[in-house]
Amino acid sequence: MSYRIEYERSLSDPRGFWRDQARDIEWFEAPTEILDVAPDGTARWFADGKLNTAWLALDRHIRAGRGDELALIYDSPVTDRIERYTFAELTDRVAKVAGGLAGLGVGHGDRVVVYMPMVPEAAIAMLACARLGAVHSVVFGGFAAPELALRIDDAKPKVVLSASCGIEFTNVIAYKPLLDEAIELARHKPEYCVVLQRPEAVAELVPPRDLDWHAFEANAEGVDAVPVAATDPLYILYTSGTTGKPKGVVRDHGGHAVALNYSMSNIYGVGPGDVFWALSDVGWVVGHSYIVYGPLIAGCTTVLYEGKPVRTPDAGAFWRVIQEHRVKTFFAAPTAFRAVKKEDPEASLKAGYDISSLEYLFVAGERLDPPTYHWLKQILDVPVIDHWWQTETGWPICANPVGIELIETRPGSPTHPVPGYDLRILDDDGAELGPDQEGNVVLKGPLPPGALTTVWGDHQRYLESYWERFPGFYLTGDGGYRDTDGYVYIMGRIDDVINVAGHRMSTGELEEVLAGHPAVAECAVIGVRDADRGQVPIGLVVLKDGANVGLGGIDGLENELVQRVRSAIGAFANFKRALIVDRLPKTRSGKILRQVLRRMIDGEAYEVPSTIDDPTILSEIEEALNTGSVSR
């Protein structure tokens, strides 16, 4: 089947196309209603179908006689452990944890926050919630307490599942104090916290709220999967919007299972028994879709890696894991390869490993910059495939669908739209643009199965954020173009969202943190180019008149601001520079000219917009950049 035929059918006959794909998963009650679209444009897929995502990911394979095959490999160079779980073993643990949660009163529709490092129990936690029809919300372990508190207040979980610590390189990071602080900060108080005690750090548990995971699991009776409606929420995953408050992306059971199952064979070229490795974290969408749900639903073996591209123990880590577990498809972010390239420019460590099992390399999270693409092509013998997607869609929008047809790649392009996605490029007035013209990348509704169905607790925000700008079209927030052969190029965000090492961050959120400092009158945070991380945030800060910068002076203040972001958001924000300036460039209506600032700091040519309030500010900022700050 060629890509073109498959793609065109998906758009001309979406109901027929997705009815066929829905037959490839097992339902407790197969859907007869394939798609209905609400008056506000929201798609509901498979509305009368009943299924259970955890059952699909686990029990189904046991029933098919594959219970003794490997479901999950936990590879943890930071603790020097490798553990292997068959489908039967994983099902057993998931059923027991689900039973334990049920014993705490968690049932269909209740929320459970998961704040865990990359251990098998993180996947078990997610699947256990799914088994009960409870809604999990995984919060990335790198988030500081205030961010966790925000999510607890929004999701209002009955229970939090957590661990005593995470491990970054050789640093043991205690999670429990962060969890305690978050619950202290939050208005909503979860009834229970179940904490996995890891030998590297033992947490203090305070009864009756805190429970020990091992005892909790050991004393529980396994429970069966609960049939849920296809449109019931499976999870909430928070992502940065353009304001300080993160958006809770809601994913359903049915559309999600069908879309992920479709993607595993058609995009990633894997099926039952193949080993699939996505290097990410359960706290991000890649972790949800392609460490936990996608591979397991498709009957693959998934690799859950608790380590880094480098220094755990060296830049040969990728090649070691691929050899050791016979990985067929590997997926990582470009920043991970830039880290490897920096330490081992010739990839000479690769020579020590047999990576012949590897058939495809996929990258996403940020644009695969052409230098990294060429480096990967040079060192590897397999297709290197950039593919583009976002938390909201849950699975790729553009890719080279190797299971359908391996299309020739072009550097800098994630190739073509995936079946199901009707991609258009619009100018700011909503007119469709032709080849090579850069504009807003949008998706004509309805979105395919698997994409978000709402923002948790705020459907209005969902409509305003995604559907209001161009009615009938989903706003991706990215800018880009298609070339004359239809290859798509995604060039970066058009809003105030930046991408740091493949992680999305809202400049507004960072600004709120800086603005909270008593000496700061106003500030702007912009993402500037960074050789390793793609982008990093830099703050431009205007001080209050007569502000007391303290004994440390300007440098001390910068340190305080850096520290502030670290403890409010987390070290992964990579916020390291705050520049003190006299004023910020703004439009006459008061909007900060971020594009101009970004181009200026990146050393690119920029146009001074006619709407600028006072153009002389720009030369002051130039001076600040040259000297490190502007004297008052």
Residues that bind ligand AMP (CB under 6 A): 239, 285, 364-367, 386-388, 390-391, 414, 476-478, 490, 493, 499, 504
Adjacent-strand bridge partners of 137: 113
Residue 262 or 373 with smaller CB distance to ligand AMP: 373
- The nearest distance, CB 488 to ligand AMP, in angstroms, is 9
What is the rounded distance in angstroms from the CA atom of residue 298 to the CA atom of residue 400?
19
Residue 58 or 398 with smaller CB distance to ligand AMP: 398
CB 250 within 8 A of CB 244: no
Residue 385 or 580 with smaller CB distance to ligand AMP: 385
CB 256 within 8 A of CB 450: yes
- The nearest distance, CB 399 to ligand AMP, in angstroms, is 9
- The nearest distance, CB 408 to ligand AMP, in angstroms, is 17
- The nearest distance, CB 519 to ligand AMP, in angstroms, is 32
What is the rounded distance in angstroms from the CA atom of residue 504 to the CA atom of residue 490?
15
Residue 454 or 499 with smaller CB distance to ligand AMP: 499
Cis peptide before 537 (omega within 30 of 0): no
Q: Which two tokens stand for residue 329?
A: 């498809």
- The nearest distance, CB 391 to ligand AMP, in angstroms, is 3
* Burial of 563 (C-beta count, 10 Å sphere; 0-12/13-18/19+): exposed
- The nearest distance, CB 413 to ligand AMP, in angstroms, is 9
Q: Which two tokens stand for residue 512?
A: 């709120």
Residue 278 or 285 with smaller CB distance to ligand AMP: 285
Residue carrying structure tokens 């990215």: 478
- Backbone dihedral angles phi then psi of residue 63, each to the nearest 5 degrees: -60, -30
Q: How far, CA to CA in Å, does 151 sit from each of 246, 352, 431, 482? A: 8, 44, 38, 37
**Helices 370-379 & 334-343, crossing angle to 10 degrees?**
60
CB 152 within 8 A of CB 183: yes
Residue 453 or 476 with smaller CB distance to ligand AMP: 476
CB 587 within 8 A of CB 611: yes
- The nearest distance, CB 486 to ligand AMP, in angstroms, is 16
Residue 316 or 334 with smaller CB distance to ligand AMP: 334
Residue 194 or 368 with smaller CB distance to ligand AMP: 368
- The nearest distance, CB 61 to ligand AMP, in angstroms, is 28
DSSP class of 225? P
Nearest one of 582, 588, 456 to 521, comparing CA atoms: 582
